Structure 1
Amino acid sequence: MPFSCIDLLGREVFTYKCPYDVRGVVVGETYNTFLILAGGRVVTVPKFLCHFFDHESGLLINGRYLVGYRDKRLFNCGKF
């Protein structure tokens, strides 16, 4: 499965090789960013600059593959 077909919404992630050191749950997504609930606050993290480790699947994903609108990205993978 291509990395662009992975949906991180609702999953616990932490950033790696990223200027933002964040660990929390992805609660939202825009074209270029993830909104991560960490420590009682929502942090905006750019996708392109970071790698994300998904605890559930154990995958380390380069954020540049996740840039784009979630619905369009997942639709192209046949998930909708």
Structure 2
Amino acid sequence: MTDRDALILNAFAKVLRQHRTQAGLSQEELAHRAGLSMRYVSLLESRKHQPSLATLDALARSLGISLTAFVAEVDAQARAGTP
């Protein structure tokens, strides 16, 4: 994994967790809404797995934001270099 990959993965995990907590959702509730397992959501938030595009879309929709907005936030977070 490159440094850039690690930055993106860290940024994704942070943005996902922020949106989930701001929405007042547990990992279990987010997983249910997105059609995923709670374990998988936990692994995403702990940077142990990378999501597919379909998973990104399901998560974004479940959080009430567009896929493009979600990805833009991840990109901005990664560019800032603050994992």
Q: TM-score, normalised by structure 2?
A: 0.32
Between Structure 1 and Structure 2, which shows a larger proportion of helix residues? 2
Between Structure 1 and Structure 2, which shows a larger proportion of strand residues? 1
Q: Which has the higher contact order (CA 8 A, sep 6+)?
A: 2
